[in-house]
Every structure is written in structure tokens, then in C-alpha cells.
Amino acid sequence: MRKSLPVVAAAAAALLLAGCSGSGSSSASSPTPTGGASSPAAARAGTVKVLYAGSLVNFMKDLQPGFDKADSGSVQGESGGSDALVNEIKGKVKQADVFVSASTDANSGLVGKANGDWESWYASFATAPLVIGYNPKSRFAADLKSKPWTEVVKEPGFRMGSTDPKLDPKGKLAAKALKQVGIPQSKVQVFPEEQLLARLASGNLDAAFFYSSEATEQKLPTVSLGSIHLAAQYTVTVLNKAPNANGGQDFVNYLLGPAGQAVMRAHKLTLTKVTVAGDSAAVPAGLKSVVGLS
């Protein structure tokens, strides 16, 4: 019996080693996600987090699949008023690799030590004029088609909507337009950007301020602001504290490249020559060509 013990022990040791080896192999092939509550997708190295202007929701829906396929990564996008997003970035409420704004003023809120040094540069790439979109079933629809909008807004019972000037560039532009024609801001009801279209479609509003690209996407009838020419100025940057800076650069290259420009045209954005503002020396080498610095 004693002579058989070494054989049994050896066999047991072999089985134990095999079990440990198998367990280690499984752990290597299926690593435990890190980051606590983060989803598996968020833990992927190829995931790019993009905070973007709410007026680009439909545009981003069409842009994301192409980027995901081309770069074998994925985009986690979240929309909002550009100024509201700036506040959330500075307050560390939201983390992102890329920020796409509808106003250069919003970008300024992330530049400099006083603003947390979140941004050193940004590239402007497209515009979209501010217009008035209206519900074709509104009892004021005929007036909007035949009279100056400045007269219709003052008519009893007319309900006009806008986004909040404190949180969104579109609201700022709307307030500027009203000021230029002497119409008080009180004539306009303010709603979050994500609610504005729904309010109009439901009949709670007769008209609202939109960018021309948004109105085209939603097939809204529009009227221009006449002699007032105001527009969104779309910009993009990779944030200085981006967790996935390389992925952010890939996204910007795709956005400003031929594929991204094709989606812009499809959504009726007016493409402009890409120009860089801020510290051009801080633009990553991998982006200098697409932003016109090389």
C-alpha cells in the first residue's frame, strides 16, 4: 500500500495542476470587467464616448454605424444643449473623449485653467441657419406663410417655443433674433431641446426656433428670419482628459473625412472649410491633416 502512495499523490497533483491551468486559461479569455457599474461595452478599448449638440441626434444615428464598421470600435453618444454639456464636463458629471458643439462660445467655456483646461483647440466644420419651423395644422399656419413672422408672433394665442438661452446655443440665437426685432423673450415658451419637437408635433406649440437641418430632417415647413442671419456653428474637439484619446482621434478623422461629410450633406448641414481655433500646436499629429494643418 505504501509503495502506491507516490503514484496516487502524483496523479492527484497532475489533476490539480490541470484544474488550475484550465481556470487560468478561462480567466485570461474572459477578463472580469473593471469600473464597477460600467457596462461591458463601456469597458471595450474601442469605445469612444461622444457628447454632442442635441440638434445632431439624427445625424449621429446615421454616422455611428459607419464609424463602428470602419474602426471596429463603437460610439457611446449622448446629446444635450451645448452649454449644458459644458457645465456637466466641467462639473465632472459626465466624462467624454469627444465634444461636438453647436457654438464656438460653448467651446470657450472649456478653455483655460479657470475652466479646468478641458480643451485646448477645436475645429469648426459646418453650419446650419436658424429658422422658424411650424406645425402645418396650426391655425396660424396660413399667417406664417403670408405675413412677416414678427407680426405673427405678436398675434393673440400664438404659441412660440425655443430652447433655454442659458443652456443651449439655439436658445441664445433665438433670444438674439427676438431682441433685434424688439420682441420680448416672454413671448416665447422655453423647453429642453429634446422636448421641443414633440411639443410642436402634439399641437402644444404653433411654431418654434430650429436649425434648418433639423427642420429638413423632420419635414417641417419653415419660414426664414428675413434680414436676420443667425446660424449654428458646429465644432469638434478631443478633450484633454479623454480616457480614450486615440479612439477620439479616430472619431474626429471619420467625422471630418469623406464618409462623415457625406452624412453631413445628407442631413443638409452646410459644410465649411475646416478651421482650427485655440492652440493649433496642441492638435494631435494624427489629426493635423484632416483639420488642414499639414
Q: What angle do CA 57, 59, 65 make, to 5 degrees?
A: 105
Q: Looking at residue 218, what is its pLDDT?
A: 92
Q: What's the average pLDDT block by block, 10 residues per block, for the chain (294 residues)?
A: 39 39 35 33 66 96 94 88 96 96 97 96 98 97 97 96 95 97 95 91 97 95 96 98 95 97 97 97 97 93
Q: Looking at residue 153, what is its pLDDT?
A: 95
Distance CA(15)–CA(21), nearest Å, equals 10
Structural class in CATH, domain 128-231 = alpha beta
Q: Looking at residue 71, what is its pLDDT?
A: 77
* Residue ranges of the chain assigned to CATH 3.40.190.10: 45-127+232-287, 128-231
36, three cell numbers: 464597477
CATH architecture for segment(s) 45-127+232-287: 3-Layer(aba) Sandwich (3.40)
pTM, two decimals, is 0.82
Distance CA(205)–CA(276), nearest Å, equals 38
Distance CA(122)–CA(252), nearest Å, equals 11
184, three cell numbers: 420680448
Virtual torsion, Cα 268, 273, 279, 284, nearest 10 deg: 80
Answer for the pair 177, 130: CB distance below 8 angstroms, yes or no.
yes
